[in-house]
Structures are given as structure tokens and as C-alpha cells.
Amino acid sequence: MTDVLASRSFRGPAAEDAVESVHNDLDSLWLDVPFVQDMDQMTFTTAVIESVSNIIQHAEPAGDEPVELGVDITVQPALLQARVSAFHAQPPFGPMEPAVPGEDSESGRGLALIEALVTTVTFERQESTNTWVLSRTSSQG
Amino acid sequence: MEFSYEVRDSYAEVKADGRLNMVSAPKLREFVTDVIAGGSNRIVVNLEKTAFMDSSGLGALIGCLKAARQAGGDLRIAAVQPQVKMVLQLTSMDKVLTAYPSADEAFSND
């Protein structure tokens, strides 16, 4: 059995407002689990916001329904995990390998940054839902 | 996020308070573009109260840097907080966007 110490969930339109909502959820989550080290909070928050922004900016609807964003975050004794989903979405377009943009490029660093921030990133597709699972093994159990 | 600016002796100081994310990044770019258009091409972005920056925010800073250089000047950042420093280091952009301890020091040796 997993021992979930704290959690937050968000579901709503994949629109700009969602970025601030999810960020506020994360800030309040950390207040519930003050033992999670600052570095873990900082890296995990950044990875989740990158992932959410990626969906808002790039997810395309699969049909008539607009893309919805879902974020489920759980804190376990030694594990931070977020399931970041795009509902009613087409499969992601193009390669999912992180790019290495030139130093004067103004975009394209998000995926590489996510990979640097968390321990594992996995992708699942089920029906019309794309889900990225971000896991970070926390420094203190 | 809130932006403000003040013209100093040899540069314009732009303050960006809040989260520099995909929502605020285009606004920073627009704000700095206006400051440059107003005649200041040496810009210091004071990030003392920027608690968070993602890759969109980083992209905006790079865009602002390019705009300042195109206008014959430069853009430097100051008072970088831990999360912003982490993003700069992980993307190796700390070599391109040089961080100074304070806005005063950013152009002090030029």
C-alpha cells in the first residue's frame, strides 16, 4: 500500500488560467508537508509547471471537445509524483525527445528541463488522453 | 506578475515581481521592448522578487536580450533567486545571461 501524505488535484480547461491555479495548489501542498526539502519542492514545482504549460501551448483537440487539463499530485514518504493529463487530445505531435536549442533560441527548452528536474518521466496514452507521469525521489524519506 | 522600470544614470532598471511563466513571459517581452523603444538600450532586469521562472520566462529574457543588443545595448540580470538560478544553470543559460548580485553592479564596470 502506498502511503499518501498529501495530495492536490486540478481539472479544468487547458487555458492560461490553469497555470496559476496549479502553481497555487503546489504552494499550498508544500505547506501540508514541510518536511519535503526546499530543493525537492523547487525542482518538482518547476517540472509540473513546465508540463502543464506544454499541454496548454501544444495540445490539440482530438474531436469537437476542447482539451482539458488534469493534474494529480501526491506526496509519499520518499516520492513526489504528478500525473499531468491532456483529455480529449490528439497524440503528441513530433518527437518527444528533448531538443537542444541554440543559445539564442527563445523556446524549445521545456522537455529537457523537465527531464533534468525529475527522476523519471513516463508517457501513457489511453483513448484520447495523454498522460505524463513525473516522479521525483525526494531527498528525505 | 507586475512590472515597473526606472531610468538610472547609465541604464534602465526593470523590476519583475511575481512568477515569470507562460502567462507573464509575453508581457515582460512587451514591457522591455517599450523601455528600449523609449530610448534605453542598457537594461538591467532586477529579479529580486521573481520567485519563479520557467522555460517560457527564460525565452522572454533571451528575447529581451536580443532586442537590447539589436538596439546597440545589452541586457543583464540581477538579484537572481534560487529557483531562477537553478533554471539558468540546468539550461546552461547562466553563461549567456550573466547574473549580478545587484542592479547597481550590472553595468558598473562598463
Q: What local confidence, expressed as pLDDT, does residue A96 receive?
A: 65
Letter string b/e over residues B21-52, b meaning 16 or more CB atoms within 10 A of that residue's CB: bbbbbeebbebbeebbeeebbbbbbbbeebbb
Q: Amino acid identity, residue A130? A: N
User: What nine digits make up the cell of A86?
Assistant: 491532456
Sequence-ordered list of residues with C-beta below 8 angstroms from that of A59, at least 6 positions apart, any chain: A14, A67, A86, A89, A90, A92, A130
Nearest to A109 among B22, B55, B86 (CB): B55
| Residue pairs spanning A and B at CB distance below 8 A | 67
Whether the CB of A53 is below 8 Å from some CB of chain B: the reply is yes
Query: Please, what are the domains in chain A?
Result: 6-137 (3.30.565.10)
- The CATH number corresponding to B2-100 among 3.30.1370.60, 3.30.750.24, 3.30.499.10, 3.30.70.3270 equals 3.30.750.24
Cα B67 to chain center, whole Å? 12
Alpha-carbon distance of B30 to A35, in angstroms, equals 40
CB–CB contact B19 A23 (8 Å): yes
Nearest to B90 among A38, A103, A113 (CB): A113
Evaluate if residue B40 carries a pLDDT over 60.
yes
Whether the CB of A54 is below 8 Å from some CB of chain B: the reply is no
Q: State whether residue A123 is helix, strand or coil.
A: strand
Evaluated on CA atoms B87, B90, B96, B99, the torsion sign reads positive
Q: What ipTM score was computed for the predicted complex, to two decimals?
A: 0.95
CB–CB contact A104 B66 (8 Å): yes
Alpha-carbon distance of B81 to B48, in angstroms, equals 6
What are the tens digits of pLDDT across the range A22-65?
A: 999 999 999 999 999 999 999 999 999 999 999 999 999 999 99
Q: What does the domain layout of chain B look like in residue ranges?
A: 2-100
Judged by average pLDDT, the poorest of A64-68, A91-95, A118-122, B28-32 is A91-95
